[in-house]
C-alpha cells in the first residue's frame, strides 16, 4: 500500500473493520465509505487486506505492532461516535468526502434508486403512502427511504464533522 499522509487521504477511502468494530463499520457505510466488515478472518488474512489499498480499523495490538502506521487506524474507544471521530481526525476526512446513505449498511453495496411502485407491499403502508423516493440494495434487496431515522443520523453526522 502506498503511504498516505493526512493531507493526501483520498476521497475514495476504503476500510476494513475487524470483527469487534461492527457498529463503526455500519456508521462508516452510512457515511458512504466502502467498508468491509471482517468477521471470521484470521489475523494474517485481515492484515493482508492492507495490501489491497484498504485502511484497516483494528482494536488488536498485534495488528498495530505488525503494520506500518499508514495502513491502519487503531481504535481504543468503545463508543461508535468517538471511534468515527478518531477515524475522521487521523485520516483528515472532510464533510464533502462523505456521501451519506449511498451504501447499504448491511451489505456495503451502493444503493440504487427504485421506482415507488416497485416497493408497494415491501414497505409499511404508511411509508408507501407518505414517501415518494426509495432506494434499494441490489444485493440484499433492503429498501431505504427518507424517514425520521435519516434526520437523526444526519444530525449525528453534522456533529461529527463540526467537532
What's 136's DSSP letter? E
143 and 78 assigned to the same domain: no
Structural domain contains residue 104? no
- Shared domain for 45 and 125, answered yes or no, is no
Dist CA 101 CA 97 (whole Å): 13
Domain of residue 154, residue span: 112-162
Beta bridge partners, 116, equal none
* pTM given for the model: 0.86
Question: For 67-110, how does the pLDDT look when each residue is reduced to its tens digit (9 = 90+)?
Answer: 877 889 999 999 999 999 999 999 999 999 999 999 999 999 99
Residue 154, SS3?
Answer: helix
Q: What percent of the chain has pLDDT over 90?
A: 69
For the segment 10-21, what is each residue's pLDDT rounded down to a tens digit? 457 999 999 899
Phi and psi for 6 in degrees, rounded to 5?
-55, -40
Domain-embedded: residue 125: yes
- Same domain? For 88 and 142 the reply is no
* pLDDT score, position 85: 95
Instruction: Report yes or no: 16 and 57 within 8 Å, Cβ to Cβ.
Output: yes
Of 71, 97, 123, the residue at which a domain comes to its end is 97
Pick from 113, 150, 151: which is nearest to 134 by CA? 113
Q: Is residue 76 part of a domain?
A: yes
91 and 11 in a common domain? yes
User: 50 with 130, same domain?
Assistant: no
Helix 148-162 with 80-91: angle, nearest 10 deg: 50
Residue 103: inside a domain, yes or no? Answer: no
Q: Give the end of a domain, one of 45, 64, 97.
A: 97
Task: List the grid coordinates of 68.
Answer: 506500518
33 and 92 in a common domain: yes
Looking at the structure, tell me whether residues 14 and 90 fall in a common domain.
yes
Domain count, the chain: 2
Amino acid at each position: 500500500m502506498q503511504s498516505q499522509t493526512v493531507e493526501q487521504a483520498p476521497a475514495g477511502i476504503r476500510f476494513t473493520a475487524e470483527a469487534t468494530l461492527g457498529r463503526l463499520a455500519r456508521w462508516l457505510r452510512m457515511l458512504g465509505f466502502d467498508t468491509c466488515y471482517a468477521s471470521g478472518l484470521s489475523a494474517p488474512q485481515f492484515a493482508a487486506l492492507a495490501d489491497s489499498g484498504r485502511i484497516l480499523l483494528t482494536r488488536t495490538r498485534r495488528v498495530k505492532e505488525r503494520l506500518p502506521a499508514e495502513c491502519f487506524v487503531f481504535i481504543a474507544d468503545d463508543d461508535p461516535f468517538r471511534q468515527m471521530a478518531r477515524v475522521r481526525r487521523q485520516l483528515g476526512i472532510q464533510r464533502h468526502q462523505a456521501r451519506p446513505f449511498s451504501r447499504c449498511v448491511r451489505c456495503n453495496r451502493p444503493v440504487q434508486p427504485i421506482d415507488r411502485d416497485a416497493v408497494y407491499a415491501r414497505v409499511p403502508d404508511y411509508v408507501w403512502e407518505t414517501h415518494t423516493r426509495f432506494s434499494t440494495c441490489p444485493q440484499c434487496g433492503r429498501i431505504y427511504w427518507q424517514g425520521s431515522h435519516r434526520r437523526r443520523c444526519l444530525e449525528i453526522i453534522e456533529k461529527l464533522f463540526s467537532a
